Amino acid sequence: MKLNRKYGFWTVLASTLAAIVGSSIIISFNMVFALAQANPLLMILAWVFGALIVLPDAFIVIEPSIGYGESGSGYSWIRKCNWRILAFWFGWVLILFVSATSLASCCSAMSSMITQILELDSKDLAVESLQKALAVFILVSLAGVQIMVKNSSKYTQIFFLFVKTLPIILVFILAIMYGSKEGLLSNSQMNSNLGHAYISSAMLIPAITYTGFAYSGHEFPTYITEEIKNPKKTVPLVIISAVLIVLVIYVCYGIALLSLATPDSQGNWIDPNGTTSTIFAQHKWAVLTFNIFAIFLFVGSVNSLLFFQSRLIHKLSETGDVHTFFGKVHKKTNQPYTAIILLGCVAVFYILFSSISEIISSFALATSTLKILLNSAIIKLRLKDPEYKKIYGNKTFWILMILSLVTCALTFIGSIYLMVIIPHQQTGASTFSILWKPILMVIIAFLVYLFGIFKFNNIKIK
């Protein structure tokens, strides 16, 4: 039965904002500051450029979503191209390197905040092991609730929509109470290291790449195009409005945090590996309140990710790209429990063997690669599929496509930089200890593609 078109501009805008704003800004703020050479002005520019580079990608996926008159999905568009092997590869890479990394980052950040509430030293090896064990326990517990408790997703989502704004509101209140124009917001700090920007504009690419994690979700309207009134007008307007609103929120949030920052004993203003609450650690009550709010927010994020990403796996099982075993549904709760278990197992690997920054780097690398494949599929559909309805003129489309491909290339380069060069600069670790994870990602991605070749060409290994 076809869904009725019933959602207007304001409903879709509210849902899109809810999809974007949330745990990602709390996870990524400290590292973006560090990647921007610890300069407040460059950090703000990174957030601005991060918002701008998502727009071409968003506008590109609008056309097939509206053109086909159905809710959009990169996976389904690649299947429309009859690229069976690439669709298989796309789905699995999405599971292994995008869905699982999102889950792992939320659980890891949540465990870090819990240990901070308990005032444990995160640099201690035993505490680090405790954080990982706690993150796994959180993931298993929330997955179990999702599988076993009827309507758990429904109730948690309603709670999540309310709670997710509380940490940001608290930061604004703290800035009003304790914020200062001195420190990081002083002219001397604003102008520090700016000379590097004129020498090499590429210095901001890793920081901009890192912001992509916080802007993910802007494409939400393309997934429900069928249910939107006047989608040709509403979808583009919602995406532009949402990105601009979120940009203003993030910049104001960033300035508020900068006004609260004070240097530690070593002269560092913001710990790149710390959580947001470490910035105002001198206010104990604020740290406790913020972390409690953030933990509830992360619970909602994990619940949301388990709910929606498990549906992707279930969809893949229906098309035959994932074994039918992972399409099983719990009789009592109607949840795809085997899909949730698969997603959780992959996320556990990231929790145990990666830091939050490494997890986000993997996310950025995977999304950049998948966007290039998705753009290729859209180009083929526009040129070859008679059912494809164009909403842009040729000139506009190709300008957007070129911009999208350029931004994909930049974020791909930025993700490589984050995965390989940054760890060496920060820790001086050996080449092997840095490279084994990216190499493993490439090997797994290649094996998935190879398996797809065997699967769809009916090649049997004797």
Interval 57-82: pLDDT, tens:
888 988 888 877 666 568 888 888 98
User: Across the chain, what does the average pLDDT equal?
Assistant: 81
pLDDT tens digits for range 208-244: 888 888 888 787 787 777 778 888 888 889 888 988 8
Q: What CATH number matches the domain at 9-413, 3.10.620.30, 3.40.1390.30, 3.30.390.30, 1.20.1740.10?
A: 1.20.1740.10
Helices (runs of H) and strands (runs of E) counted in the chain: 20, 0
Range list of H helices, 36-99:
40-67, 74-80, 84-93
Closest C-alpha among 211, 238, 254 to residue 367? 211
Closest C-alpha among 305, 250, 239, 301 to residue 13? 239
pLDDT at 160 over 80: no
pLDDT tens digits for range 164-215: 788 888 999 998 888 877 766 665 655 665 555 544 455 678 888 888 888 8
Q: What is the pLDDT of residue 66?
A: 82
Would you call 129 exposed, middle or buried from its count of C-beta atoms within 10 A (0-12, 13-18, 19+)?
exposed
Q: What are the Cα distances from residue 377, in Å, to 82, 183, 321, 441?
A: 10, 49, 18, 23
Cβ 291 vs Cβ 209: under 8 Å: no
Three-state SS at 179: coil
Q: How is the chain split into domains, by residue range?
A: 9-413
Task: Report the predicted TM-score, pTM, of the whole model to 2 decimal places.
Answer: 0.82
End-to-end CA distance of the chain: 45
Higher pLDDT, 419 or 396: 396
Q: Name every residue whose Cβ is closer than 8 Å to that of residue 13 and which is 6 or more positions away in sequence.
A: 238, 241, 242
pLDDT tens digits for range 284-316: 888 889 888 888 888 877 877 787 778 778 778
CA distance 323 to 312: 13
Backbone angles phi, psi at 228, to 5 degrees: -105, 135
Dihedral sign of CA atoms 72, 17, 391, 47 in order: negative
Q: What is the mean pLDDT of residues 385-408?
A: 92
Q: What is the mean pLDDT of residues 321-332?
A: 80
pLDDT at 121 over 80: no
Dihedral sign of CA atoms 30, 35, 41, 45 in order: negative
CA atoms within 13 A on the CB side of 149: 14
